[in-house]
Amino acid sequence: MSKSSRSDCKESDSEPLPIYHHKSKLVRAVKDSAFLVVTGETGCGKTTQLPQYLYEAGFCKNGKIGITQPRRVAAITVAQRVAHEMRLTLGKEVGYQVRFDDCTTEETEVKYMTDGCLLREVLADPALSHYSVIVLDEVHERSLNTDILLGLLKKVFSNPDKASEGRRRTFPVKCSFGSAVGPKDTESSGYVKEVVRVALDVHTSEMAGDILIFLTGQNEIERACDILYEKAETIDYRFDVHDQTVEGLLILPLYGSMPTDQQRQIFQPSSRGIRKCVVATNIAATSLTITGIKYIIDSGFVKQLNHNSRIGLDILEVVPISKSEAQQRAGRAGRTSAGKCFRIYNNDFWEKCMPEYTVPEIQRTSLTGVVLTLKCLGVHDVIRFPYLDSPEERFILEALKQLYQFDAIDRRGKVTKLGELMVEFPLHPGLTRAVLKAASYRCPDLMLPVAAMLSVENIFIRPGHSQKQKEADERHRALASKSGGMNDFATLLSIFHFCKSSEKPAAWCKENWIHWRALKSAFSVETQLGEILYRLQQRSDFPFESFDGNEKNKLRLCLCAGYFTNVARRSIGKAFCTMDGHGSMVHIHPSSALFENEKDFDWVMFNDVLVTSKVYIRTVCPIRYEWVKDLLPKLHEVDVYELSNVAREEVTEEEMAKWENKEAAKRRQEASAEEA
C-alpha cells in the first residue's frame, strides 16, 4: 500500500466559494466604513478570499493589506495558499511573518501574520502607517493578542458596521458518544489509543470520505500516527465498503511546528481509493479548512495555556474542550455532504467536564508581556484599558508585580530603560531578563542559544517503544554528563553547540535521539534573537556592566537574573518548596539530569512546571542561595494594593518618598530578622 500519494493542488474549485456572491458588497463596505465586522460560516472564504478582493479593488495602492491570525501555522499555510491562487511568488507580493520567521520583502502587499507580530508593529508605529487595511481574523477565538489589538483599535474607532455573509447551509452531522472517556479519564495514552481504534473502525467499515482526528499536541499526534501506520499495514484490503473501494490510508499529522512541505499535502485531495486521515490539533477546528472531511473523531481534549494561581505560573495543560468547541469540531464533517462525528467520551463527560464556552485567553493566562507592551504604547492605566472582556484585576496586578520584579517598570508603574529593551524580545520577560544580563556581561552567546532552545518545541525524541525509549534515555543522559552534568540549561547549550559544530548535524541528531527539525529552528531563532540584541547594543545607553564572579557560574548567574521567580528550596525528602510566596511543593521531573540526585542540592532554579498527579519542575539547575539572596526579597516587596493605585493614577513625589521610606524600614527589619 502506498502511504503517500501525490496529486496537484486544485487550481480553483469548480463551484465558487460562498463569499464570492458577496464580493462587490464586501469591497464597497470596506471602502465605506472605518471598522467592519464580517461574519460567515467556517470555510466560506473569509481568510483566503477577502484579502484578494481588496487587492483586486486596489487597496494596495497606498499601503499593504495586513491580515492577522492567532496561530503561526495558519498564517503560513494561508499565505501559501493565497500566493498560489493569485499565481504570485510567496515572499514577494504575498508574504507572511510569524515569530522568528519573516517571509516578506519591501514589495509585499498582502501580508499574513500572527497577531503577536502586528502587536509588535503597533509598538514601532502606532498609526500602522504602512497599511491601508487591517483584517483581524479569528476574532471569535479570543486570543490574548487579538483581544489587545481590538482594544487598541477600539480606542481609535467606534461603531463598527456589520456585514454578515449569511449562514451557509451545512449538511447534517450525526454525532455519537463513545464510552472510553468518562469524567475520571484524563490520561492521554488512553484517549490516543481510543481515537486510533475508532479511526481504524471507520476506515474499515464506513463509506469513502476522509477522516479528521482531533488530539492536543505534537507528541500525541506523532504517537497516534505511529500506531496508525503500524496497524494500517496489517489491514487486508480485499474489502469493498458499500461498493466504494478504499484501498489505503494516507496518514497525515498536522500541528504547529510542522515543516511546511508536509503541511501542503494535507490540502491535496486524496487519490481515488485512498482515504486521507488527518491527525490534527485544534488548528483544524477553525483556522484551516480541509476539504473532503466526512468523519470527525473527537478526543474531547485541547492543550491550553492556563494561569495556575495555586503555583502562580502559566502552564500548558490538556483540558476538556467546551461544548461549543465540540460543536465546531463536529461541523467540520458536514461541509460538502452529510458527515459523522465520533466523540470518544461519554455523555457524563459532556455534562460534567465540558464547560459551555471556552474562556478567553486574556482571562486565563499571565498578562506580563501584554501589560509591558501596553505600557510601552503609552497606556498607563492598564486596569481601565478597554479590554473586550476585562481580565481579573488580580491578574493585571500579578503582571505589574512581575514587571516590577524584573525591573521592567519602576515603582510608579513607569517603564524603565530595561523595560524598553525587554519589550523588543518576543520571549517571556524572565528569559529576556536573563538574555539581557548575559549581554550586559558581554557574553550574550552564553544565553542566546539557551533562550532559542527553550523557545522551540521539545528537542528530545521520546519514542513510544520501550526498548528504544531506554536507548534514547541513555543517549540523553550521556549528553547531559558530557556537558558537565547536573544542569539542564547547560545541557541545552552544549547540545546546541555539539550539533552546530557537527559535520553531519542531521545524522548527529538521529544518533542522539534529538529532533533535528527542532534544532534547525533553534539555530534560526538564535540568529534572530542575536540580531535584535545587536541592534539594542548599539544604543549608547545599553547597560553594560562588569562581571566579577566565578566564570564557571556565569551561565547560572545570568539565569538567576530572570529566573529568581522560579527558585525552590529543599523541603522534606525529595520535595522542594517554591520561594515565590506560593510555597508550592514541587518535584524534579524524571527527564532532568538532577533527578535521583535531588539529595545533593538545597536550592534549585527551574524553567517550567508540569502538573500531573504531582507538580514537576523541568529544565532545572542547582544554584546557591547567595546568588538569589538579594533578589528573593523583591518577590515579596511590593504590596498589591499599592501597585493597584500605581496602575490607576500617577503617584506624587511625596507619596513615593513616603512609600520608599516604609519599604526601606521593612527591609531593614527583614534583614535583622534573618541575621538573628
Least spacing, CB of residue 46 vs ligand ADP, in Å: 3
Burial classification of residue 569, based on how many CB atoms lie within 10 Å of its CB (0-12 exposed, 13-18 middle, 19 or more buried)? middle
Residues 582 and 579: their CA atoms lie apart, in Å, by: 7
Least spacing, CB of residue 139 vs ligand ADP, in Å: 12
Candidate ranges 43-51, 356-364, 552-560, 569-577; the one touching ligand ADP (CB under 6 A): 43-51
**77 interacts with ligand ADP by CB under 6 A:** yes
Q: Which amino acid is at 299?
A: S
| CB of 270 or CB of 491, closer to ligand ADP | 270
φ, ψ dihedrals at 96, nearest 5°: -140, 155
Of 22, 30, 45, 300, the one binding ligand ADP by CB under 6 A:
45
Least spacing, CB of residue 293 vs ligand ADP, in Å: 9
Q: Which DSSP state fits 602?
A: S
Query: What are the Cα distances from residue 287, in Å, to 291, 425, 554, 559?
Result: 13, 26, 44, 37
Q: Which DSSP state fits 158?
A: -
Residues 566 and 605: their CA atoms lie apart, in Å, by: 6
Candidate ranges 38-46, 254-262, 483-491, 510-518; the one touching ligand ADP (CB under 6 A): 38-46
- Of these partners, ligand ADP, Mg ion, none, which one is at the site of residue 263 (CB under 5 to 8 Å by kind)? none
In the chain, what is the greatest distance between 2 CA atoms, to the nearest angstrom? 86
Burial classification of residue 92, based on how many CB atoms lie within 10 Å of its CB (0-12 exposed, 13-18 middle, 19 or more buried)? middle
Is 250 in contact with 199 (CB distance < 8 Å)?
Answer: no
Least spacing, CB of residue 53 vs ligand ADP, in Å: 11
Binding to ligand ADP (CB under 6 A): which residues in 47-76? 47-49
DSSP 528-548: HHHHHHHHHHTSTT-------
Least spacing, CB of residue 46 vs Mg ion, in Å: 5
Size of the site for ligand ADP (CB under 6 A): 15
How many CB atoms sit inside 10 A of residue 667's CB?
A: 12
Residue with cell 552546530: 500
Of 30, 38, 43, 119, the one binding ligand ADP by CB under 6 A:
43
Binding to Mg ion (CB under 5 A): which residues in 34-73? 46-47
**289 interacts with ligand ADP by CB under 6 A:** yes
Distance linking the first and last C-alpha atoms of the chain: 76
| CB of 41 or CB of 185, closer to Mg ion | 41
Q: Cα–chain-centroid distance for residue 644?
A: 29
Residues 624 and 647: their CA atoms lie apart, in Å, by: 35
Binding to ligand ADP (CB under 6 A): which residues in 253-282? 267
In terms of Cα–Cα distance, which of 525, 529, 495, 608 is closest to 72? Answer: 525
Give the x-and-dash track for 4-33 against ligand ADP (CB under 6 A): -------------x----------------
| CB of 333 or CB of 439, closer to Mg ion | 333
- Of these partners, Mg ion, ligand ADP, none, which one is at the site of residue 661 (CB under 5 to 8 Å by kind)? none
Least spacing, CB of residue 17 vs ligand ADP, in Å: 5
**432 interacts with Mg ion by CB under 5 A:** no
Of 2, 291, 458, 661, the one binding ligand ADP by CB under 6 A:
291
Candidate ranges 41-49, 302-310, 497-505, 506-514; the one touching ligand ADP (CB under 6 A): 41-49
Residues of this chain that bind Mg ion (CB under 5 A): 46-47
Residues of this chain that bind ligand ADP (CB under 6 A): 17, 40, 42-49, 77, 81, 267, 289, 291
